[in-house]
Amino acid sequence: MTSVSIPTCRPGLLALLAASLLGAPLVAKSEVLYKLNTQCSLGAGNPQPCQVEAINEKGATLYRQTIGSTTETIRITDQPVRMERWDGQTKGWQSLTSAAARFSRNTVCFNGRDLCVVNPNYLNSVVQDRPEAMAGRDLVQVFFGKDGRINLSCYDDGCNTVAP
């Protein structure tokens, strides 16, 4: 009869293993959709080269814009649509006040023109997701209420009517 020896572990090692197993689900499982070398502007300033990294995770898509030494991260969730900007000082997500897309310029802007990004990938996805609604549109704007949900959407000339 062959004896089987059971490996022994030190208690510290076991604790580490258990901690890593328990900790694994806490890390958000994410997927990089794309990295895009493009142009951005901050505060309605001059265009600058930037890189957009789009990251998909459960329930949200993150857009990380790296502009020189500055990183701006926008998080967009669906159902309902919310858009938030990461505030590095408060270490928290702040709801946007508005977002706008100009298809003919392949541009999407957040909080007025605080952050503008040429991101055709984003717009291509938006258009293909809702072809009927987007057909013939060039400008789309959404505004967010205090609860972070969209309380106003407008298209093209309609945005002249609702501009704050």
Partner 1 sequence: MKDARAAFGMALAALMAVPAGNALASRQFTPEAPLAVASSADILVARGGGGGRASGGGRASGGRAAAGGNPGGGRQAGNRSGSRANNGFGNAGAGLNRGSTRPSGGWSNQVRPGASTDPSLDRANRPNRDAIGSGSFDRNRDLNGNRDVNRNRDVNRNVNRNVNRDVNRNWNRQVNINNVVVRPGWARPGWGVARPWNYGWYGVSTTPAWGWWGARAALWGVGTLATAAIINNAVDDAISDNYTTIVVPNSDYSLYYGSIQPSGQSVVSFVVKADGNDYQLSADCNAGTINGEEPKTAAQAELLNAACQVAFGST
Subset of residues 124 to 143 that bind partner 1, contact rule: CB under 8 A: 124-142
Nearer to partner 1 (CB atom), residue 12 or residue 147: 147
Give min distance, CB of 69 to partner 1, in A. Answer: 15
Length of the chain: 164
By CB under 8 A, tell whether 41 contacts partner 1.
yes
Taking CA atoms, 102 is separated from 27, 42, 66, in Å, by 35, 17, 21
- Within 61-80, the residues that bind partner 1 by CB under 8 A are 61-62, 64, 71, 73, 75-80
Per-residue contact string for residues 98-117; x = within reach of partner 1 by CB under 8 A: -xxxxxxxxxxx---x--xx
* 107 close to 118: Cβ distance less than 8 angstroms: yes
- The β-bridge relationship of strands 98-102 and 107-110 is antiparallel
Question: What gap in Å lies between CA 42 and CA 113, rounded to an integer?
Answer: 7
Nearer to partner 1 (CB atom), residue 4 or residue 24: 24
